[in-house]
Chains A and B, each alone.
Chain A
Amino acid sequence: DTAVSQTPKYLVTQMGNDKSIKCEQNLGHDTMYWYKQDSKKFLKIMFSYNNKELIINETVPNRFSPKSPDKAHLNLHINSLELGDSAVYFCASSQVDSDYNEQFFGPGTRLTVL
């Protein structure tokens, strides 16, 4: 069984479009995250949700809107896509009251904006 899954795996779209990436975890964790990996492979936190509440919003443009309908899902909606949004987006989850708050990552969604 896949612990953290993301759809789609690849997403190619035109500038100006709106797109969504979905993430689901079946680990029973209470916290979910979105990370962005840029073309230089640098990984940076974007958002985190704990029990459906936004905890971290790391100065991400408001074109990016995360939504957590329940603890097992965290979706990322992006409006008015720009060339610079091209990246790999990783979803992760963790249980914050665990001993070391280990985060489990999904396989990533490669977004290409043309």
Chain B
Amino acid sequence: AQSVTQLGSHVSVSEGALVLLRCNYSSSVPPYLFWYVQYPNQGLQLLLKYTSAATLVKGINGFEAEFKKSETSFHLTKPSAHMSDAAEYFCAVSRAGANSKLTFGKGITLSVRP
């Protein structure tokens, strides 16, 4: 069984401030972890992924995430928020195999204030 917890539904930051979006996972096998971004009325775009190669993962648009097995966490960060980062962010977990599926967290809405 696998699950993802994203605490809170909305995060608001000022432009230029640190962005921190939290994600905790549960998985009975070594997980693959992903962060997706969804801009208004658009599809899902992959920001970054953890696949056991490195615990600190760098993604697109300046985002990065750190896998911490002891904390079962995969928090997403960006040092300096930009107005264009305003979107919905989803953390997801999956595993290897033909019957693999992505299990998503409920998502977090990021707002960026001028």
Q: Which residues of A contact B (CB under 8 A)?
A: 31, 33, 35, 40-45, 48, 50, 55-56, 58, 90, 92, 94, 96, 99-108
Contacts and interface: CB of A to CB of B under 8 A. Distances in A.
A42 B106 contact: yes
A94 B49 CA distance: 14
A101 B32 contact: yes
A90 B46 contact: no
Interface of B: 32, 34, 36, 38, 42-46, 49, 51, 88, 90, 92, 94-104, 106-107
Nearest to A51: B98
B42 A107 contact: yes
A96 B101 CA distance: 10
Given A43-B104, A45-B101, A55-B99, A90 B49 contact: no
Nearest to B50: A100
Contacts of B98: 31, 50, 55, 96
Contacts of B106: 40-42
A100 B51 contact: yes
A97 B9 CA distance: 34
